[in-house]
Amino acid sequence: MQSERRRELSTAEERRAAVLRTAIGAFAARGYFGTTTAEVAKAAGISQAYVYRLFPNKEALFVAVVEHCFLRVRQSLEAGAAAAGSSSPEAVLSVMGDAYARLITDNDLLLVQLHAQAAAASEPAVREAVRAGYARLVEYVRGVSGGDDEQIQNFFAVGMLCHLVVSIGAQEVQAPWTRTLTTGIRHYD
């Protein structure tokens, strides 16, 4: 009986993770407001009712997607920090920035981040998830880099600029304004 219960929990946890992975693609494609749980269910090959067994509503599903994306960012920053050749704040922030620039080549992750920031403007639960995610990232970056407030603010400001550069394909346009935005910004295809 006990092993049967463990197997059921494992299966439910695996299905929840699979639905979450599917939901990332769905929300990336159409955003929070444009995606339905029916679309997520169809893409995951399950019933909409089963999606509701795993997540109480669309908002909870999207918040789980946002939290998952923040976790991926944190893991990327951790890998970058571990690869730093020096413990100076500048060196640590630089390698973490490079790791993040590589991470956002994952178009779904980038799009979910952009959609989450847009939804945060009007959806309190999403706003709280985005706030909490940034709070954890800022404190992690501060702690691992040893950077001061100005360095940490610059790190996140450049990260936001990276979002803009990548999302509008600024590196593909040869013009004074794109050179202004892209100078010194790392981006990968």
- Domains of the chain from N-terminus onward: 1-182 (1.10.357.10)
With CA atoms as reference, report the closest residue to 137 among 187, 168, 100: 100
pLDDT tens digits, the chain, 189 residues: what are they?
554 545 454 577 888 888 999 999 999 999 999 999 999 999 988 899 999 999 999 999 999 999 999 999 999 999 999 999 999 999 999 999 999 999 999 999 999 999 999 999 999 999 999 999 999 999 999 999 999 999 999 999 999 999 899 999 998 999 999 999 999 887 776
pLDDT of residue 152: 98
Count of other CB atoms within 10 angstroms of residue 153? 12
Chain-centre distance for alpha carbon 98: 16
